[in-house]
Structure 1
Amino acid sequence: MQTIVFIGSNKSGTSREALNISTSMGYYTVLLTNRREFIKQKDEFPEVHRIVFIENLKNKEEIFSIIKDLEEDRKQICAVISFIDPFVSFAARISEEVGLFQMSTDALAIMEEKTRFRDHLQTLPVSPKFTIFQGEKSIQQCIEENHSYLPLVLKSPVSNGSKDVLLVETITEFNEGLDYLNKKFPSIPVLIEEYLIGTQYLIEVIVKDRQISIVAIIEQEVLNGDRFIITGYSYPAVVENETLVELQIAVASIIQALELENGTCHLEMRLIDGKWKLIEINPRMSGGAMNRIIQEATGINLVKETLKLFLGQEPFLEATKRTHVYAKFLTINSRGRLIKVTGKTRALNYDGVKEVYVKPRKGAILTKPYSLGDRYAYVIAAADTPEHAKDIAVAASKEIKFYLEPL
């Protein structure tokens, strides 16, 4: 039976949708996970035919052993895929070694680590000013050399979902931020970037045989604060034609510099005084509700088309409909244990609302947002204008209430 092996998955979002779509496409779906609770909760994964626990998801020998066992069980391995950081390039290398469709493994690996892609792309006009604190100098020396450029953004090179990404505006914050990241990741450098003020956009890209397809351009709304939490997504982004052409040129320059011939990625870019600057790039499509946002707006199921790419097939990326979609994500301002959530049904009853999702279960510990994982619900709405879609989503989201027991 034709089989797809997935390395890692979240309980929801893009990676979970990939499991469902794999099975709906007729494939025997295998999930390799390092999350013990998934094994205990395997009944909650009805779309997965086999779940296998692996302590270390980068244990190549163990994964090859599992693949061999599957083949001996008359399973034909068609793809080994991951939608999860930091296993994307690793899965691609496994695919390469077992003779499956060849992805651009080196390019994917560069994108997985922030200092690596910054170094690789530093000569491009899209690159912001940056430096890397290696720990060879003292924190004080680093601050003395860079404090005149404040405000700055500090990042752990291995962070994702806005984890360990800090805006520092004063020397005190700079010192505290460097100290925090240095202690949390003692053997890992800190990326220090200029802080760029401008509208932020997310760009979804698929590349097949060097042909670059910009599938979606989404305007993002960032929560005020120092953690860069995205709370709103508007698709399609409203961009002037000349600016759009410049964006296409900028994206092509990045893809070509990375030598990405086959693969997917999403970029976060800001428009600064008419010039595009690269904030982030990741070697996979965006997580969370991104697939549903794009599908509601265009009819394109980007997860399915991504799977087809990894299977060596031709993705179909032509829109079958065009509408405006807005996704509103919810955070909270305090910490506590979740007692209950109300308002989901009322939110769903708003005209134009396509989906309402609440992530945490009763008893979960909730907190104010430190990463994208601390967004606890979302509402997706569609309408004939971007303003109307946003109005619907925001109004419906106000129906959702979290009741917490303070800790």
Structure 2
Amino acid sequence: MPKLLLLEAMGNTAEYVLDAARDLKVEVIVVTHEDVHEDWYSPAVKRKIEENGKLVFTDFSDSEGALRQLTELARAEDVGGVVACWEFLTPLVARLTADLGLPGNDPSRAISCRNKRIMARAFAEHGVPAPTTVTPRTLEEAYDLVEAAGLSYPVVVKPAEQSGSWGVSVVHSDEELATAFAAAQSHLFQMPHGIPLDPHVIVQEYIGGTEFSIETVAVRGVVTPLFPYDKFTTGGARRAEFGHTVPAELDDASVDTLQRAAVSAAQALGVTDGIAHIELKLLADGTTRVIELGARLPGDHIVALMRQARGIDEARIYVQVALGLEPSLTATANTAAGIRFLTPSRGGVLRSVSGIGNAGAVALSRLTVQPGGSVRAPGDNDARVGYVILHADTAAEVNAAAAEVLADVTVEVA
């Protein structure tokens, strides 16, 4: 039986990867930390690991020690592929696969898929259409670099290394820039593993237009784009994601523009084997700007949406590419699916969520915080208390149904 090394299964893609491996008759060796497994893993993920694999514990905050330990483990177990379900470990995956001679991305450029400061430089060097970006270490340097680059407000401020829209702000003045800069630098270790993060801050040209996401699949250096889908974010100073619809309803020219930009971004960052998740904006003049790329599966249950709407199983593809197998990228369905996240109007203790309903396009609804649990104030993806998945014949129908659901839902917080 082939063996797959999976680094950290606490992300919301882990269940999909574990299911895909089981269906492919692949044994999974999950690597995590003992405390993380105990405190962060859901009962469902723990059960899936027990049924089709085993656990190994390591210290990911010591990347060199983890690399040595996991290289020895992979050789002893005759591992045939390595993946990660937590994007902070994708550079480690690239180093491991290179050392083991397995399919993987360019280890010399893998950090550029995780660190937005290095990513911006790579995009500029390879002519990838992207926002003008400066990368200061201090607030004083930020003011100087913004002026030197000819940037004007509004600008986007975010950490060099974070995820989930954490620390992302749109600012309109020097005073707001100071506040946003401090917030972006407030967490320099990624928990729960304590991985040190780049202290630089990203300050970018604000790009208008409409935001989309897209995945590419790379097999032995050949990069193929899938189709773009809608990404919905909140307005105002903080930009959290509140939903997605698969696929986006776009004309052929717009689809081609987004796909070409996605492929160029993946190639610029050395994505040669595996899936890359790219976020872009399409402007009114028909051009696009690549916002960022992650060398990973998409989160937010997009794997389920893609499978439901188009019959494409990205988790299965991810496992197949890692093992050197040829994946199928052919769509077998022609419908649409969407997800909308439920958030409170303020932080506090969740009392109830009501009004979701079960009729029409609603395929699934789930609370991720139970009544009595603490909830964060809205502002990033950690404020979510649940989600609704919808399925219909077209994206327009999904979006209309989603709007009705969100209008009827009440999240009560004490």
TM-score using structure 1 length: 0.88
Aligned-pair distance for 1:241? 1.8
Extract unaligned runs of 5+ from structure 1: none
| 1:55 aligned partner | 59
Cα separation, partners in 2 of 1:35 and 1:379, compared to 1, 3 Å: farther
Q: Does the residue aligned with 1:86 lie in a helix, a strand or coil? A: helix
Aligned to 1:9: 9
Q: What is the CA–CA distance in structure 1 between the aligned matches of 2:360 and 2:143, rounded to whole Å?
A: 56
* Structure 2 residue 367 is matched with structure 1 residue 325: no
Match of 1:99 in 2: 101
C-alpha deviation, 1:47, in angstroms: 0.8
| Shift in alpha-carbon separation, 1:2–1:139, aligned structure 2, 3 A | closer
> Equivalences for 1:102-181 in 2 at 5 Å?
102-123=104-125, 124=127, 126-135=129-138, 137-138=140-141, 141=144, 149-181=152-184
Say if 1:332 and 1:368, in contact at 8 Å, map to a contact too.
yes
For 2:206 and 2:302, the matched residues in 1 are separated by: 26
Deviation at 1:304, TM superposition (A): 0.8
Aligned equivalents of 2:401 and 2:210: distance in 1?
22
Aligned-partner residue type, residue 29 of structure 1: V
CA distance 1:184–1:258, change in 2 (3 Å): closer
CA offset digits 1:36-60 (Å, max 9, x no partner)? 1523668541110323333335544
Measured after TM superposition, the shift of residue 138 of structure 1 is 4.8
- Cα–Cα, structure 1 residues 2 and 292, in superposed 2: closer, same or farther, change >3 Å? same
SS at match of 1:389: helix
CA separation in 1, counterparts of 2:82 and 2:198? 30
- Within the alignment, does 1:310 sit opposite 2:337 as a pair? no
**TM-score scaled to structure 2, two decimals?**
0.87
How far 1:203 sits from its partner (Å)? 0.8
Question: Does the C-alpha gap of structure 1 residues 157 and 138 become closer, same or farther in structure 2, counting only changes over 3 Å?
Answer: closer
Specify which of 347, 351, 357 is matched with residue 366 of structure 2: 357
SS of corresponding position for 1:205: strand
Q: Distance in 2 between matches of 1:69 and 1:125?
A: 38
CA distance in 2, matches of 1:251, 1:43: 36
Identity within the alignment, %: 20
| Corresponding residue of 2:293 | 281
Contact 1:81 1:92 in 2 (8 A): no
Superposition deviation, residue 316 in structure 1: 0.7
Q: Deviations over 1:94-119 (max 9, x none)?
A: 12223323433334321111010100
Is the 1:7–1:57 contact (alpha carbons within 8 Å) kept by the matching residues of 2?
A: no
Provide structure 2 residue ranges, at least 5 long, that are not aligned to the other structure: 189-196
SS at match of 2:80: strand
Instruction: Provide, for residues 230-274 of structure 1, a one-character-per-residue CA deviation record: whole Å limited to 9, x for no partner.
Output: 212122112222222222332333233334322321111111222
Instruction: Sort the Cα spacing of 1:56 and 1:184 in 2 relative to 1 into closer, same or farther, 3 A.
Output: closer
Aligned partners of 2:260, 2:67: CA distance in 1, in Å? 40
Amino acid at match of 1:23: R
Decide whether the 8 Å contact of 1:178 with 1:190 is kept in 2: yes
CA contact (8 A) 1:33 1:57 kept: no
- Mapped to 2, the partners of 1:80 and 1:255 lie a distance apart of 19
Alignment of 1:159-308 (within 5 A): 159-182=162-185, 184-185=187-188, 188-272=199-283, 273-308=285-320
The answer to whether the aligner puts 1:367 opposite 2:376 as a matched pair is yes
Task: Look up the equivalent residue of 1:175 and give its one-letter code.
Answer: A
| 1:115/1:35 CA distance change after superposition, 3 Å | farther
Q: Residue by residue, what CA displacement relative to the aligned partner does 1:76-99 show, whole Å, maximum 9, x if unpaired? A: 312221121210121121122233
